[in-house]
Structure 1
Amino acid sequence: MKTYTGINQKQFQDFLELSVDGAFQMINLLKFKKKVEGTELTGAQVYAEYLNAILPFFQDTRAKIIYQGKPLFGLIGPEDTIEWDKILIVEYESKEEFIGMITKKGYPAEMRSRALSDSRLILSIEK
């Protein structure tokens, strides 16, 4: 099974070409590593460090976490497992602010990738 922990170049290019006006949300579905290579830390611990490291970037772009939670039970989907460890929804003021944030020098994207065994990042807009 293929896993995803970072943005690939094609998806990023497609995102750049996508028309998005105004505020939007990014839905993060996160599966943490049990242990992060070269550390004694879990993926959840490294991801918590990542969230602390991106706070200045969030403040600069006025991004805000509008929801975070731990999935407990699935009514639709695999009966024997919950696929994700955490759901996080972040709201951004604009596509330009988001792109500026994730491409800014010092943004710790590699920290996010190191913490995860799999993830999804889904753009959502209110309709």
Structure 2
Amino acid sequence: MLSALPPDEEVRMLNLLKYKDIVTETGLSGATSYREYTKAEDMFFGTPQSTLIGPEDEGLWDDVPILKYRNPGSFFRMVREEGYPWELREQALLDSRLIYFRSNPAKRLK
């Protein structure tokens, strides 16, 4: 559980993003609106190209960023901050997943 992590452990989040074509409230694309929303350090940002293994009819996510936060507290402070722009995320996305993960060098594929 994210809140049970040691206070000095870096937090990494896998984001699976499906953008709206146009955000009605702003007239901007969902992708542009989302970039205005995010404040985390970008470790990796990729755009899926095709499904190699898995259901081909499932469709692809638009973007798959992995974001890094200094520690769990910095993530929680950010999302609880007064004025945090939740509405930008909600306006920009049709669907999404936010998956916390830990680095585990002992389980690396060889």
Q: TM-score, structure 1 length as denominator? A: 0.71
| Matching of residue 119 in structure 1 with residue 106 in structure 2 | no
| Matching of residue 20 in structure 1 with residue 27 in structure 2 | no
Considering only aligned residues, what root-mean-square deviation do their CA atoms show, in Å? 1.8
Relative to structure 1, the CA distance from residue 109 to residue 65 in structure 2 (aligned partners, 3 Å threshold; closer, same or farther) is same
User: Aligned with 1:45: secondary structure?
Assistant: helix
Is the contact made by 1:31 and 1:119 (CA closer than 8 Å) also made in structure 2?
yes
Is the contact made by 1:71 and 1:82 (CA closer than 8 Å) also made in structure 2?
no
Structure 1 residue runs without a partner (length 5+): 1-13, 59-63
How far is the alpha carbon of 1:15 from its aligned partner? 4.8
User: Aligned with 1:122: secondary structure?
Assistant: strand
Distance in 1 (alpha carbons) for counterparts of 2:23 and 2:55: 26
Structure 2 residue runs without a partner (length 5+): 105-110
Give the match for residue 43 of structure 1: 30
Give the match for residue 101 of structure 1: 78
Runs of 4+ in 1 over 6 A off after TM superposition: none
Q: TM-score, structure 2 length as denominator? A: 0.81
**Which amino acid is 1:49 matched to?**
E
User: Percent identical across equivalent pairs?
Assistant: 39
